[in-house]
Structures are given as structure tokens and as C-alpha cells.
Amino acid sequence: MRIDAETLREADFDALAAVGEQWAAFAAHLTEQVEALEETLGGGLHEDNWDGESAEAARDRIRAAVAGLEQRIGPAGRAAAAIADAVEDFHACRDELEALLSENVDLDDPSPEDAARLAAVLGRAAAVDEELAARIGLVAETEPVGAERLAAADPALALAALLDSGASPKAVNDLWESLSGAEQAALIEGRPDLVGPADGVPADARDEANRRRLDVDLQNLDADISHVEQQLERAERNGDEAAAETLRERLDGLTDTRRDLGVLEDRVDGPDRVTGQDHYLLDYDAAGDGKAVIAIGNPDTADNTAVFVPGTGADLGRGGDYDRVAAMAHDAHEAAPGEDTAMVMWLGYDAPDHPVADAHSLSYAKDASGDLASFMGGLDAANRDGEHATTTVVGYSYGSTVVGQSAKDHGLETDQIIAVASPGMNVDHASDLGIDPEDVWATTAPGDIIHLPGVIDIPLPNGDSLGLGPSPVGEDFGGRTFDSDAMSWNPLDIHTNYWNEGNAARDNMAFIITGQTDRVS
């Protein structure tokens, strides 16, 4: 909407500011209320004072209701911030306009130069107005209201309560399947933040929800970036170097995240052109190194599903992990062109950045182990033909340690496990992985163990060991092995610490994943 000079001069921005202040007060009040209700849950309604199943159920319902209220705090706060920013910027525009007019510019017949200056100021005001509308639009939830909306509020509370209470993916799947198509659609649209990452929700719903989240995140980032750029420009103009430096750092962080999410958006855009399969965005998180769970093909309906857990240094930005998953998907398609094999890249954990410093520590594997187990549980719960589908988890390098830890701590819902270039799976024997040792496969570098310097196995007093367990290709481990023939043809020097499992190994993995283990060599 174009803003004319008169509108800008006469607008009551104090009234706008007042609304912003009320939103801020509202957000603060919500926070108080949430705290008071939580105190009540911890006090008078605590299980010490009130126990039994109905008491627990009531507490759950209250918790869910409180959680629903808590969700409102963020949006109210963002509205307040957006309004405050807009008021400041509007005032600046108005001041500029007044300065211009004090030079006796004739508004009805300005000179070309004055007209340009006027247009610039009014253009900036229009941009401020648009940004305000956009930022409010992202938090306002002004969809058509009615009975359907109130009905949708209950499934959201139920799902939130289920997820808060740490319910199993099976329970989440049961809840999802109990909802009508309209309720499911409303949840995807209204609460994609809940639906997208929830293990147990079917892949197509998660994908739709996560794409929504991604759209909103990208819009928010673009708005934030533009806002910080304006602030930076202002600081630079004012010669405030300290503020400018802070803003530059903030801008760098934002643009890095924007780039990573842009890469993610590209990865899942359109089908894989070799196999024709659609991409499914099953989860992502832009914080930290980034996490992403992307499937080529639908794991709920595929004949075979393989979940690839990458190793050290994996992150959203590098092309390597995704390309490897795509190559595996293509290999499986070549090995069994009449079947549908879904390939999932599970970068669902903070992989260690430094092979030497970090990978020795088991803490990463332990942190990730629950998430991987939950993810596999979710695939299992949502699978439409669990009996006939073949599921395989493939752990590469440190990813295989995560797989081992997860299988040991929680059990993994999988038919087969493949360990590639494993420094150890933190189990002593294949049977510790919770599946038939005949279904545990491993391959590693020719000659000796994976090139993580200094990998040794020293038992510590607390039961951990400095080291990651015996190699899964060792005879004592009890699993099966398959050939790798890394680059026997390569006439060039092989860099130390570099290893790629080779072509024969790819054939073998494709056979295992597509259930053709009789062809493995």
C-alpha cells in the first residue's frame, strides 16, 4: 500500500506503540500465569496431595493446557517487538519527511530532485509498513475462525501432551490415526512445529509440516536479515562502530543459517531424477551444526528402507553426506529396479567436528542414541506393511558407533545393520545389537582399522572405556563381513586418513539393503 505524505505526517504512531506495549504486557502476564499454574501443579495438585489415575490424567490435561498457553508467549512477544521496531522506523521516516518539508518543498509541484527525495522517504515508510504486516502475519494466526478451529485445538493439546510426556512413537501413531483427515490437515497447518519432528507421524504428513516450518523459518530469517541490515546501515551512518560490529556478527550468523536452510530447501525440491522418487523432509533443525532427516522415497510405503547415519564432521552444509545417500539410493534402485527402496539420511545428531579431539568421547553417541531409536520406532509404527518391508540401518564411521550405542541402550527397530568403516560400535558382540548376528554386516578398510588416530581401548573405572569397542569386522564379533576393494586401481597416491569403501562394497550394500543377501560376496 502506498503511503502519502499527509498520512505519514498525521498518523498517530503513539496509538500503534500503545498496542505494542500491551502485547508486551500480555506476554509478561502470560509468563506469570504459566508459572503460577505450574506452581499449582507442583504444589496443591502434586501427586503427594492427589494421586491415582484420574489425578494423573487431570494433571496431564492441565499440563497440556498450560503448554498451549505457553505457546502464545512467543508470538505475543514477537508482535510487541515488530510493532516497537515499526514505530521507531516510522518516526524516523516522519522526521525525514518533516526535515524535507521544512525546506519549503512544494508537495503539489515538487522539483524532480525533491520528488525523488519524497518518493524515497515514502517508499521507506511503505517498506516499514509491509515488514510490520509480514512480521505480524507470521504470528497472528488470523485464519477463518469457527467451530473447526476449536475442534482442532483439542488434537493439538493431545499431541502436545503426548509428546511432552515422552510417549512412544507407537502412541503418537495411534493418536494420529485416530484423527479425522480434517483434524490431521488442521494440525499440519496450525502446528507444523509439533507434527514435523514427531516420530510416529506418517512420512507424508511430517514432510508437509516440515516444509511449512521451513517456509516460515526462511521468511523469518529474511525479515530478520533485512532488519539487521537496516540497523547496521544506521549504526554505520552514525559512526557507532561497537554496535556495528555486534550487528555484523549477528548478520553473519543469520546469513549462514539462511544459506544452510536454502541448501536444505534445494535438496528436497522436486523428485530424484534418476529414480523418480519424491523427497521427504522428515525433520530438521537449523541450530548448531544443523540437523536434517531427508528421505528419497517414502519409507512408510517402500519395499525396503535404509537409514544412513553419517560420521564425523557431518553437517547440513557439506554436499558429501547427501550425495552419498543419493548414490546409495541409486545403487539400490539399480540392484532392484522392480522394487521401491527408500533411503533416509539421518543427520539427527551433533556429529563431532574434530575426529581426533571429539570422536573418542562416547558422549555424542549417547546423546544421539535415544533420538535414533525413537526415529526408527517412528518408522516402524508408521510403516504400512511392516511384515514385508526390509529395514536396514547403515552406520558410517562414527555413525556406526551411534548405531551400536542406540541398539545397546534402547534396541533398534530394524531388520539389519551395516557398519562401514567402523572404529567400534561400543558393543563386544553382534548379538548385543539386539538382532540376529546373521543380519549384522560390516566392512572396513583393507588391512587394518579405520584411520582415526590413536583409537585404543582402555577401560576406565566408571565402566566406560577410552575407545569405542572391538572392530565389528573381527572374527570374534560374530557378525558377517563383505568385501571392500578401495581403489585398488588408483595409480595416484592415496592420502593418509582417506578411505572410501569401493565399488564392490557398494554392490554388496545394495544387495543387503534390497534383501538379496544371497548375492553378497
Partner 1 sequence: MEERVDRTRPERDDPWPRMEEAVREAIAALPDFPGFETRAFGELAGTHPDVVQYELSYTFTLADSETAKVRRDYVTVLERHLPAIGYTIHSRRFDRDGAPRALEAVRPDGINLWYRVLGLVSVKAQTGPMPRDPDYDPYCPPPLGGVTRDRDAALDFCARGYSGEAAGPDPAADPYEL
Partner 2 sequence: MPRFHIEPDEVRTAAASIRESTRTLRERMLLVSEAAERLPDGFTGAAAVASMAEAWAGTHLPAHREVFEELAGHLEAHAEEVVAADERSAEDFDAHRR
Of 49 and 102, which has the nearer Cβ to partner 2?
Answer: 49
Question: Contact, 471 vs 428, CB < 8 A?
Answer: no
DSSP single-letter state for residue 201: B
Of 75 and 478, which has the nearer Cβ to partner 2?
Answer: 75
Of 228 and 421, which has the nearer Cβ to partner 1?
Answer: 421
Question: Contact, 485 vs 443, CB < 8 A?
Answer: no
Minimum gap (Å) between residue 22 Cβ and partner 2: 4
> Any contact of residue 319 with partner 1 (CB under 8 A)?
yes
Q: Return the amino acid letter for 224.
A: D
Site string for partner 2, 400-419 (x = CB under 8 A): --------------------
Here the cell at position 490 is 588408483
Of 25 and 274, which has the nearer Cβ to partner 2?
Answer: 25
Number of H helices, E strands in the chain: 15, 10
> Any contact of residue 449 with partner 2 (CB under 8 A)?
no
CA of 264: how far to CAs of 78, 192, 201, 255, 313, in Å? 26, 17, 21, 14, 17
> Any contact of residue 44 with partner 1 (CB under 8 A)?
no
> Any contact of residue 144 with partner 1 (CB under 8 A)?
no
Question: Contact, 13 vs 87, CB < 8 A?
Answer: yes
What residue 499 binds from partner 2, partner 1, none (CB within 5 to 8 A, per partner kind)?
A: partner 1
Please count the residues of this chain forming the interface with partner 2, following the rule CB under 8 A. 54
Please count the residues of this chain forming the interface with partner 1, following the rule CB under 8 A. 47
Here the cell at position 286 is 537449523
Helix axes 203-237, 112-140, angle to 10 degrees: 140
Minimum gap (Å) between residue 107 Cβ and partner 2: 17
Tell me which of 5, 58, 216, 223 binds partner 2, using CB under 8 A.
Answer: 58
Give the integer Cα–Cα distance in Å for 127 and 144: 27
Count CB neighbours of 175 within 10 A: 19
Give the integer Cα–Cα distance in Å for 429 and 475: 10
> Any contact of residue 131 with partner 2 (CB under 8 A)?
yes
- Name the β-bridge partners of 199: 201
Minimum gap (Å) between residue 504 Cβ and partner 1: 6
Site for partner 1 in 272-291 (CB under 8 A): 272-274
Here the cell at position 463 is 565402566
Of 16 and 167, which has the nearer Cβ to partner 2?
Answer: 16
Tell me which of 379, 450, 455, 512 binds partner 1, using CB under 8 A.
Answer: 450
> Any contact of residue 330 with partner 1 (CB under 8 A)?
yes
> Any contact of residue 388 with partner 2 (CB under 8 A)?
no
> Any contact of residue 350 with partner 1 (CB under 8 A)?
no
> Any contact of residue 147 with partner 2 (CB under 8 A)?
no
Tell me which of 129, 283, 350, 380 binds partner 2, using CB under 8 A.
Answer: 129
> Any contact of residue 519 with partner 1 (CB under 8 A)?
yes
N-terminal to C-terminal alpha carbon distance within the chain: 69
Q: Which residues contact 395 (CB under 8 A, 6 or more apart)?
A: 309, 311, 401, 402, 403, 404, 417, 418, 419, 420, 422, 425
Stated as kind and residue range, the H or E segment containing 306 is: strand 304-309
> Any contact of residue 503 with partner 1 (CB under 8 A)?
yes
Of 143 and 266, which has the nearer Cβ to partner 1?
Answer: 266
Q: Indicate left, alpha or beta for 419 from its phi (over 0: left) and psi (-120 to 50: alpha).
A: beta
Give the integer Cα–Cα distance in Å for 513 and 37: 51
Give the integer Cα–Cα distance in Å for 104 and 115: 13
Minimum gap (Å) between residue 210 Cβ and partner 2: 24
Binding site for partner 1 (CB under 8 A): 266, 272-274, 311-313, 318-321, 323-324, 326-327, 330-331, 333-338, 397, 421, 450-451, 485, 487-492, 494-495, 497-500, 503-504, 507, 510, 518-519, 521
Binding site for partner 2 (CB under 8 A): 1, 3, 7, 11-13, 15-16, 18-19, 21-23, 25-26, 29-30, 33, 36-37, 40, 44-45, 49-50, 54, 58, 61-62, 65, 68-69, 72, 79, 83, 86, 128-133, 136-137, 139-143, 145, 149-150, 153, 157
